[in-house]
Structure 1
Amino acid sequence: MSDTDSMLAQQIALFHSQINKKRFNDESLRILESVLASNDVKSLFQLRSTLKEFIRSESLSAIRHIAAKTVDQQLSTLEFFVGAFAIIGDIESCLALRYEALVLREHKSQIHQWLQVSPVEWLNFAEQSLDNCFYAIAAKACDYALSCFHRNEIVRSKTDESCENLQLTEKITKLKNCALTLAASRSVKAQAAEYLRKRASEECNSQPPICKPAPCAASTLYRDGIKKRNDWKLNASRRVVSSSSQP
């Protein structure tokens, strides 16, 4: 093992140790970044895949573990894994945990108002979800953004700020409609593909089997050939006899 491989193995072991000890902090993220600072493209791809599975598994365990913790501890843990998934390029998991963090803040804001998610935060998240083809989540984020306005009755006021908020509301509504349209389109395409697949399968099963003539045995072909030859000779003899009997 080369010095580089040995150092990489040590960094990976250190990162695993940090996670196992529940040290969800910036130091652990820096270690993760150093692990991925490899110039070997092939090994980097394999390493990312391995780390992705490890972090996904650990994130699920951590989320279950923090369920009874304080809001600050829950948010801190979620933000750590959001950062970890962003570093390894797991966009799906990154957005999923960002959504969990935003929803947690939204629910807890009924008691702690400082946790309240702003419409702009929801809008930014919705745009990122839409860009990455998570249409249903984008539409849901838009619903949360619009509910912020309804809850605070901002749109109903007559201030200059209300005009800006009205424009923002229209933007969010358009984004939501776009997300719903794309989600429906994806659903229709999936249903159409499934229908065509089933139809092709049914047509294949309903077609009668192609009947092929049974191959003739060699002896049968030989006897048929002899019979045809004898018939030809007999007809030829009859023609000769018939012609000789004529004056």
Structure 2
Amino acid sequence: MSHSVDEQLSLFRYLIQTRSFNEATLRFLDSLLVSKDVKSLIETRSSLKQLLKSESLSIIHSIAAESIHDKLVVLDFFVHAFALVGDLESCLALRYEALVMRDLKSASFQLLQVSPLEWLNFVEDAVNNGFHSVAVKACENALWCIGNNDVQKLGRDMFPENSKTTIISEITRLRNLALTSVSSCSVQVQATEYLERKTREQQKLDLPFKEKRCPASTSFRNGIKKQNMRKLHERQSHMQVNGALPERHPNLRWVGLGGTQRLKR
């Protein structure tokens, strides 16, 4: 990574640490992603993802005691920042956190109420990007939101009555789709764990068998050697009887090696 890019990353980190959560900072972030070659773009994008993850955790933790407005401003900034660098998981996670935060505070601040359409948009993004567990939770919140009487107080323009049935039907469809995907993943995980467990068990069963095979093969080889030695001795005895074998020198003896013989002093 070039020195100029390092300086730009340091400047972006400085803007975050000084809480410059505005459009100008997002435009500067977008400019960092303009690269002439693919390799530089990949390196820069990876560095920005790590930087954003580290700084977002630190900043969000530091504003725990601040107002709901300030928290939502920070979350909204990081949602857009993660979207720019292509970190969809972090982007959706912070979007969900912001929606839940608004939902919890809506009893005191009615304007923070999350509309069913907002939940529906989030669910669609979560399902389309493969985050099915989060989508299921969002669907439950959306369906609760539709049945909540406080939502009706927000006015017909925000939640038209004629679209209620359509929204409920679509959210239900997406929830069923997400549930099916979650169940499928769970089954796949269980199947993988079962196969791994059976493999380990089979390996344990095969181990004693392998251990038994080694002594058996050794015994077989020893038996061959004994058989060869016996045949050698029989041949020597036969040759001595027939006078074909000369008398041994007192300082020499016969040594059998795998069916062969040699003299050794």
Fold shared per TM-score above 0.5: yes
Match in the other structure for 1:197: 196
Please, which runs of 5 or more residues in structure 1 have no aligned partner?
Answer: 155-160, 238-247
Counterparts of 1:228 and 1:82 in 2: how far apart (Å)?
93
Residues 1:21 and 1:206: Cα distance change in structure 2 (over 3 Å): same
Asked whether the equivalents of residues 129 and 138 of structure 1 are also in contact (C-alpha less than 8 Å), the reply is: yes
Compute the displacement of 1:185 (Å): 1.0
Matched ranges for 1:106-185 at <5 A: 106-152=103-149, 161-185=160-184
Structure 1 partner of 2:40: 43
Aligned to 1:242: none
In structure 2, the gaps of 5 or more residues are: 153-159, 244-265
**Residues of 2 paired with 1:51 and 1:218: CA distance?**
71
The total of aligned residue pairs comes to 228
Aligned-residue RMSD, C-alpha: 2.7
Is contact 2:115-2:145 (8 Å) kept?
A: yes
The 1:220/1:170 distance shift into structure 2, 3 A limit, reads: same
Q: How far did residue 219 of structure 1 move?
A: 7.9
In structure 1, distance between residues paired with 2:37 and 2:188: 39
Task: Tell me which residue corresponds to 2:65.
Answer: 68
- Asked if 2 retains the 8 angstrom alpha-carbon contact of 1:11 and 1:34, the reply is no
CA contact (8 A) 1:11 1:31 kept: no
Letter in 2 for 1:176: R
Matched, 1:34 2:34: no
The offset of 1:141, in angstroms, is: 0.8
2:9 and 2:48 in contact (8 A); partners too:
no
1:162 offset after TM fit, Å? 3.1
Per-residue CA deviations over 1:67-124 (Å, capped at 9, x if unaligned) read 1111111111001111111111111000000000111111111111111111011011
SS of alignment partner, residue 206 of structure 1? helix
Distance in 1 (alpha carbons) for counterparts of 2:231 and 2:40: 72
Q: TM-score scaled to structure 1, two decimals?
A: 0.83
Q: Residue 29 of structure 1: CA displacement?
A: 1.5
CA, structure 1 residues 219+168, in 2 after alignment: closer, same or farther (shift >3 Å)?
A: closer
Out of 187-196 and 222-231, give the one that drifted further: 222-231
**Separation of aligned partners in 2, 1:109 and 1:47:** 39
Q: How do 1:224-239 and structure 2 match up within 5 A?
A: 224=230, 226-227=232-233, 229-230=235-236
Is it true that 1:209 corresponds to 2:209 in the alignment?
yes
| Equivalent-residue separation in structure 2 for 1:110 and 1:228 (angstroms) | 106
Which residue number in structure 2 is paired with residue 7 of structure 1?
A: 4
Aligned 8 A contact 2:33 2:41 in 1? yes
1:223 aligns with 2:223: no
